[in-house]
Structure formats: structure tokens, C-alpha cells
Amino acid sequence: MRNLIALLALASACYKDNPNFDGGDLVPDSDDMTGPACETSEDCMGGTPVCDDGQCVQCTAADQDACAPSLVCGSDNQCRNCVSHAECTLSQACLASGQCAEADDVAYVAPDGTGADCTRDEPCGTLTEAVDQGRPVIKLAAGRTDGTETVRLTNRAIEVVAEVGAEIESGTESVIRLDGQAAKAIVSDVTVIGMQTPISLNGAFSVSDVGGALALHRVTVYHHQGPAIRVARGDLIMDRCNLVENTGGGIAVSDARFTITNSIVVNNGASTTSFGGVQITRPMGSSKFAFNTIASNVSNTSSRSGLDCASSFEVTSSIVHNNNNATCEATYTLFDGVPSPGGTNLEGLANFIEVNPVNYDEPTFYRIAENSAASNVAMPDDDVTIDIDGDPRSLTPDMGADER
């Protein structure tokens, strides 16, 4: 027995149980990311192939290839998901999943790009050209590119990622339109800037009544002449998005399953449009609309200027301000008196810091001030754990897109 105890003590001295895995037991196993003692990497194998300071580890800063191509090496010598494009040294493309894209899977776009093959060294000039390459990932460089020709997807999936400051111009047509149940688009960190064109019914991002799956992360749509988002059937995910001054309205979704969180929908619509901020018709499945800010939207009918639900649907933990009216049911939501709140809803002033729509990209835009009536009164124990800025939600979270 004493010999067995001694062997276990020796083993535990050479291994450190990984707290990121369930069932930690201080006994070396395949889940542990710190391996046995070593002199060189030739002494290491399996999941800890690199020798670092006498210990086998998953990776080091000098041995990033141990995690490549999909993961990167963290400061703790463990492979992890990427958090920025720069960490993906081969492709410069960090996907929404937190994995690095493989370089051969990426088509690159840059303003004034003239490359025929959309490579990293010779990018092409438009989103359409990049999609035509047939690769699953498109990477946009900083700056404004022309996007007036619609990318129409019927039976394929793409993911669009972007550097900070990447913009696409929009005209009267959609930038991306999904037209099939097998069509899928994931778009992250892109800003769409509308051109001065006649009003349109086409959403900057749209899913037709044929269906498709659209996911938007940290996307801004500003001054598009149609709705920012129009989904007629399928699936929609929106998180941390910013929809401002889109003449055709903010979000129109019908016959779809959706999750819309941490988003700002303000100053959308016009006196001639059928809705202003958000219009929800026949929501499907377990749809969710939570922790959003809907303010100062207009339409040709006052009852549809802010939140318009043609069928019974409940929004939660949101701010509805200066929209004339809202027809959706709500819980834990702040109103400014129209309609009169009840139950867990409140009436009061949101006290936004910055509301000028030309400052849509400012960090204070429609964020709440210290004395906001939305502070610390949203639904507790919700699974939305961060806000529009990526800041953590507190145990007593704030209503709306921003956690003060």
C-alpha cells in the first residue's frame, strides 16, 4: 500500500489537473493538459507534445503550431479559441465559433482590391467577387468597399468576418439575401452604410420566404433605405447589433425562429413606412427578444412605430422609449409611459448618454447614465451574460442593450 501511495504522489507531482475539464481528480489522464516531466519535446507525446521548462505542455508561444490550424496558444500554455484575427497567424481570420479559419478556406476583400483570386496578398475588391470564389469564409479588410450587388445564397453557407473599420456600401438591394433552406450566412463585425437612394423594401440583410439561417454578430446597419433586417421565414440570430436611421425600418421578422439580444434599434422608419423599430409576426419555436433598446422609431401608424407584434409575443429586459406605442407583451421592460406598464414592467426615464444618430459608432451611443431607471431591474438569472459592449451582466442586470 505504501508503494502505491508513493507512485500516486509521484504522478501527481508531474501532472496538473486541468480545471477546464469536468471531473478533475488529480490523477493523470487524457483530459489533463500538463503532462510529465521532460528534457526536450522528444520526451513528450499525445496531448502535451511540447517541452517547456521541464514540463510537457500543449503549446508555447514559440510552438503555436501545436494548436494550429484552428486554435491558438494561450499564456497558460494551453490551446484555446481565438479572440482576434491577429492571433490566427496563418489565415488572419477568427471565426464566430472562436476557431481560426484555414487559410485556403478564406477569400480576402479590400477596398480597391484588384486580385483575381481573392488571396491574402492580392485581395479582390467586392464581397460578390469573394463569394464567387466558392470558399466558405470571406475576410473584409478595414475601409469601405462597394457592396451594391446582392450576394444571393440558395444552397451554400458562408461566414463573413471583418477587421475593425470594415464597411460595405448598400443601395436599394440587399447586401446578403438567403433564398433556400440550405442557405446560411454568419456575419461578424461588419458595418453597412446606406447610399442616398430611393426607398426600398429590401433589407440590408434578408431571408426570403423560401427560408435560410442568418446570424449577425456585432453588425451595424446605418442609413440603409430599406429595412435593416427582413426575415420572411427561417432562423435569425442577432447579438450586439446596432441598427440606426434605416428608412425602411429596423427588424421585420415573420414565420421564423429568432434570438435577438443586446442590440440597439433606434431612429428607424419614416412617415411612409409600415413599421418603425421592430415588427414580429408569427414567431416560431422558442424565439427570444431580450436586453434590447428600441427608441425614437417612427412609422405611418403610431401603433407600429416601436414594437409591433401581430401575434402574442413577449419581450423582456428591454428599454422601449419615445416610439409613440408598442403592441408586444413585455416583462421586466422599461417604458416611458406608452403603453402604461404593469407587472414587472416599469415606467421611467432611460437617461441615455448620447442620442444623436450621426454618432452611432460612439461608445456612449444609447448607453444608459448612472441615474437611469433601467439600472439593476432586468430579469435576474437570464442566460444573457454580457451586454452590447461585451461587458459582463451583473446578478441584478440592467434593462436594455447596455449594462452600465
What CATH code is carried by the domain that includes residue 346?
2.160.20
Asked whether residue 128 is domain-assigned, the answer is yes
Are residues 220 and 173 part of one domain? yes
pLDDT at position 339 is 60
Cell numbers found for residue 385? 451574460
Q: What is the pLDDT of residues 56-84, one digit of tens each?
A: 999 998 888 888 889 999 999 999 999 99
Q: Nearest-CA neighbor of 189 among 229, 169, 161, 170? A: 161
Domain boundary among 22, 52, 80: 80
Are residues 51 and 194 part of one domain? no
* Residue 125 main-chain phi, psi, to 5 deg: -105, -10
Q: What is the pLDDT of residues 195-208, one digit of tens each?
A: 866 677 899 999 99
Instruction: Tell me what percent of the residues of the chain surpass a pLDDT of 90.
Output: 74
Asked whether residue 130 is domain-assigned, the answer is yes
Are residues 313 and 255 part of one domain? yes
Are residues 262 and 171 part of one domain? yes
Asked whether residue 398 is domain-assigned, the answer is no
Are residues 319 and 239 part of one domain? yes
Are residues 183 and 234 part of one domain? yes
Is residue 118 within 8 Å of residue 90, measured between CB atoms?
no
Q: What is the pLDDT of residues 8-21, one digit of tens each?
A: 333 333 333 433 33
The more confident residue out of 31 and 126 is 126
* Structure confidence at residue 165 as a pLDDT band (50, 70, 90): very high
Least confident of 165-179, 223-237, 312-326: 312-326
Per the rule left: phi > 0, alpha: psi between -120 and 50, beta: everything else, 68 is beta
Asked whether residue 111 is domain-assigned, the answer is yes
Q: What is the pLDDT of residues 263-303, one digit of tens each?
A: 999 999 998 898 999 999 999 988 999 999 999 999 988 77
Asked whether residue 307 is domain-assigned, the answer is yes
Cα Rg of the chain (Å, integer): 24
Instruction: Tell me what percent of the residues of the chain surpass a pLDDT of 70.
Output: 89
Are residues 74 and 176 part of one domain? no
Are residues 238 and 294 part of one domain? yes
Measure the CA–CA gap between 21 and 198, rounded to whole angstroms: 55
Q: Nearest-CA neighbor of 103 among 128, 126, 85? A: 85
Are residues 271 and 328 part of one domain? yes
Is residue 360 within 8 Å of residue 380, measured between CB atoms?
no
Q: What's the whole-number mean pLDDT along residues 41-53?
A: 92
Most distant CA pair in the chain, distance: 85
* Structure confidence at residue 32 as a pLDDT band (50, 70, 90): low
Asked whether residue 189 is domain-assigned, the answer is yes
**pTM of the predicted model, to two decimals?**
0.88
Other beta carbons within 10 angstroms of residue 340's beta carbon come to 8
Give the number of domains in the chain.
2
* Residue owning grid cell 469536468: 22
Asked whether residue 369 is domain-assigned, the answer is no
Cell numbers found for residue 93? 481570420
- Judged against a pLDDT cut of 50, whether residue 27 lies above it is answered with no
Measure the CA–CA gap between 92 and 109, rounded to whole angstroms: 12
Helices (H), 238-391: none
Measure the CA–CA gap between 271 and 1, rounded to whole angstroms: 84
Structural domain of residue 186, as residue ranges? Answer: 94-359
Q: What is the pLDDT of residues 97-145, one digit of tens each?
A: 999 999 999 999 999 999 999 999 999 999 999 999 999 999 999 999 9
pLDDT at position 338 is 60
Measure the CA–CA gap between 269 and 300, rounded to whole angstroms: 9
Cα dist from 400 to 51, 190, 243, 260, 377, whole Å? 48, 22, 14, 12, 10
Are residues 256 and 179 part of one domain? yes
Query: Strands 184-188 and 314-316, how do they pair?
Result: unpaired
Cell numbers found for residue 220? 451595424
The b/e string for 318-337 (b: 16+ C-beta within 10 A; e otherwise) is: bbbbbbbbbbbebbbbbbbe
Are residues 174 and 57 part of one domain? no
Are residues 133 and 49 part of one domain? no
Given CA atoms 193, 195, 199, 200 in this order, what sign does their dihedral have? negative
Asked whether residue 378 is domain-assigned, the answer is no
Q: Nearest-CA neighbor of 217 among 397, 30, 6, 386? A: 386
Q: What's the whole-number mean pLDDT along residues 206-232?
A: 96
